[in-house]
A and B are shown apart, each in its own frame.
Chain A
Amino acid sequence: MPPEQGPDPGPDPESVAEQVFIALADPTRRSILAALAAGGPATATDLAGRLPITRQAIAKHLTLLADVGLVTAEPGERRRVRFRLRSAPMQAAQQFLAALARDWDGPLEALTGYLDRTAPRAEGR
């Protein structure tokens, strides 16, 4: 069954998930995302105060994260730019992981075992 083509199919889930995994592959970017998830929107300076990373390195990573849609920039206090986590791409990546995590082999093995234990075989009808 082909997927329905709406007027705007939007970004394809595979490229969205790929961007998330690329972003998460870097430990510095993981720590930035974790800090935004734990503490809410923050400026590059705020993050530099909390993480053992220079403000310059944080700004560079935030630019990359904003480019791929994992954070959005918004006006903060004293005309500083604040960065906010965007969860929509994470959800696309979660669906990818959900497909990998879905275990049908275990249950189907259990189903076969259950039938063999309790039900008459077809040949015996």
Chain B
Amino acid sequence: MGFPDRIERTLDVAHPPRVVWAAITTAEGLAAWFGQEAEIDLRPGGHARLAWDGGHVAELRVERVEEPSVFGFTWRVDAMPEDDPRRTYVEFTLEPTATGTRLRVVETGFAQLPDEGYRKGFESHTEGWGRELGELVAYLDAA
């Protein structure tokens, strides 16, 4: 079947790296092409947020900032439960070329599985629900 853990795109743009850098690392740039609204605290560990018309929101954690060549962030995988700890890592690399910039986007981490600790936590969570409902039944039966 082939599980795509890694998504990769490379494109050549006719603009210098500093221009591309501004487009991908500033709120103004991100809001112009990625989301409809954007805010970003551009430092490793900083928080960024993209919002789209229709209410979809992406919360990003900035991981790498090496102006003007590497910008990396992690974010949640869409459609996963809110409390799922797994995140994919997105890295933009900018390389100057004779005609502008070679921009590469790599997103990795789609093929992660819950680790054993997470699985245990998850199962205790679902068991917890069953137990709580059982306690509620016992409480109602006693009343």
Contact = CB atoms under 8 A, between A and B. Distances in A.
A8 B116 contact: yes
Main secondary structure of the interface of A (DSSP, over half): helix
A95 B15 contact: no
A5 interface: no
A72 to B, nearest CB: 9
A75 interface: no
Interface string A76-113: 00000000000110011011111111101101101111
A95 B79 CA distance: 8
Contact of A110 (B13, B34, B78): B34
B15 to A, nearest CB: 5
B114 to A, nearest CB: 6
Given A95-B112, A96-B3, A122-B15, A104 B9 contact: yes
B80 interface: yes
Contacts of A94: 77, 79-80
A102 B113 contact: no
Contacts of A8: 116
A14 B2 contact: yes
A73 interface: no
A123 B116 contact: no
A26 interface: no
A18 B1 contact: yes
B1 A14 contact: yes
A104 B7 contact: yes
Contacts of A16: 113
Interface in B108-137: 108, 110-116, 119, 122, 126, 130
A101 B107 contact: no
A97 B113 contact: no
B124 to A, nearest CB: 13
Given A98-B110, A115-B15, A115-B20, 4 more contacts: A94-B79, A95-B110, A121-B14, A123-B100
5 contacts: A13-B3, A99-B4, A112-B13, A114-B23, A120-B19
